[in-house]
């Protein structure tokens, strides 16, 4: 029976790799490295660097594959994601069949942690035959952002909410919380909010050499983040960012 290990590798700093992650990488017969196009070649390069640094098992093979692109023109967002997941699962299955066959241990290196706003677990359950699935947790972008700003995420005895930029734009500030973590924001959804009494902690390329962090009152720092984000995206061809919003009485 095939075992598929989804290994959280943190947010870009190879030092964030846990001992469990190193052991799982070396236990694999095959390590899969997804390629997301030339604009995001940094992400594949990091995975290659990790394998070069920690892989000591001489029989472990590495196979790279091109990740299918989601059709952004699909009007039904959930259907578009569902079709995309099917395409990714088919690509995984074909790559595994080409390089390993039906038995053995396969590892996928997952940015951050496989459990938080990552679809790898859902995609893995679409493989046929269904493998045994193992998860090795990793440092999340939320942890990396809080560490970069030396920020405690929750206020004493208070909850927080993790959401997406799309949901923030559509629904506004969520009810019942004063702390909101925003991930997967394709733009700058915080611009849709009244900035009064809101503080923001923002970070991009967390853990990488090009890390950028900014914080302050949203009314003051928001426009600067918009500019910095646009410039960084133009410079790199891609951006991966996250931010925390806190509303003060």
CATH code 3.30.950.10 for 142-247: yes
Condensed to tens digits (0 to 9), the pLDDT of residues 66-113 reads 999 888 788 888 899 999 999 999 999 999 999 997 789 999 999 999
Residues 22 and 4: their CA atoms lie apart, in Å, by: 15
pLDDT of the residue at 149: 98
Read off the pLDDT of residues 19-44 as tens digits, 9 standing for 90 and up.
Answer: 999 999 999 999 999 988 776 788 88
Do strands 161-164 and 61-66 pair parallel, antiparallel, or not at all (unpaired)? unpaired
Strand partners, 63: 32
Question: What architecture is the 2-139 domain classified under in CATH?
Answer: 3-Layer(aba) Sandwich (3.40)
Query: In this structure, are residues 114 and 126 in contact, taking their beta carbons and an 8 Å threshold?
Result: no
- CATH topology match: 2-139 vs 142-247: no
State the residue for tokens 């947790």. 137
Can you tell me the distance from the alpha carbon of 51 to that of 32, in angstroms, rounded to the nearest whole number?
Answer: 11
What lies within 8 Å, CB to CB, of 195 at 6+ separation is 217, 218, 219, 222
Tell me how far apart the alpha carbons of residues 13 and 164 are, in angstroms, rounded to a whole number.
24
Instruction: Report domain extents, the chain.
Output: 2-139, 142-247
Secondary structure in 3-state letters for the chain: CEEEEEEECECCCHHHCCHHHHHHHHHCCEEEEEECCHHHHHHHHHHHHHHHHHCCCCCCEEEEEECCCCCCCCCCHHHHHHHHHHHHHHHHHHHHHHHCCCCEEEEEEECECCCCCCCHHHHHCCCCCCCEEEEECCCCHHHHHHHHHCCCCCCCCCCCEEEEHHHHHHHCCCCCCCEEEEECCCCCHHHHCCCCCEEEEEEECCCCCCCEEEEEEHHHHHHHHHHHHHHHHHHHCCCCEEEEEEECC
Q: Can you list the residues of the chain whose pLDDT is less than 70?
A: 39
Residue partners of 96: CB distance under 8 A and separation at least 6: 2, 30, 32, 106
- Please give the model's pTM, rounded to 2 decimal places: 0.89
Q: Tokens 């500030």 map to which residue?
A: 173
> What is each CA distance from 97 to 30, 67, 90, 132, in whole angstroms?
11, 16, 11, 16
Dmax over CA atoms of the chain, in Å, equals: 59
Residue listed under structure tokens 């500019």: 227
Q: What's the CA gap between 108 and 47, in Å, rounded?
A: 10
Pick from 112, 122, 111, 138: nearest CA to 4: 122
Distance from C-alpha of 114 to C-alpha of 107, rounded to nearest angstrom: 12
């Amino acid at each position: 029976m095939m075992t598929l290990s989804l290994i959280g590798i943190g947010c870009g700093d190879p030092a964030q790799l846990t001992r469990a992650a190193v052991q799982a990488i070396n236990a694999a017969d095959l390590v899969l490295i997804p390629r997301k196009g030339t604009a995001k070649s940094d992400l594949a390069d990091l995975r290659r660097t990790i394998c070069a640094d920690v892989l000591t098992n001489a029989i472990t093979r590495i196979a790279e594959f091109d990740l299918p692109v989601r059709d952004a023109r699909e009007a039904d967002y959930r259907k578009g994601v569902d079709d995309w997941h099917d395409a990714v699962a088919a690509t995984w299955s074909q790559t595994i069949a080409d390089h390993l066959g039906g038995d053995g241990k396969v590892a996928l290196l997952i940015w951050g942690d496989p459990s938080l706003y990552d679809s790898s677990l859902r995609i893995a359950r679409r493989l046929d035959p269904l493998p045994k699935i193992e998860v090795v947790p990793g440092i999340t972008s939320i942890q990396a952002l809080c560490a970069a700003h030396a920020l405690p995420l929750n206020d004493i005895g208070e909850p927080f909410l993790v959401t997406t930029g799309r949901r923030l734009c559509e629904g506004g500030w969520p009810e019942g919380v004063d702390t909101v973590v925003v991930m997967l924001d394709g733009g700058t959804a915080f611009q849709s909010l009244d900035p009064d009494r809101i503080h923001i902690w923002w970070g991009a390329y967390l853990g990488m050499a090009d890390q950028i962090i900014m914080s302050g009152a949203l009314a003051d720092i928001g426009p600067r983040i918009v500019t910095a984000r646009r410039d960084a995206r133009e410079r790199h061809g891609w951006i991966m960012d996250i931010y925390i919003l806190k509303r003060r009485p």
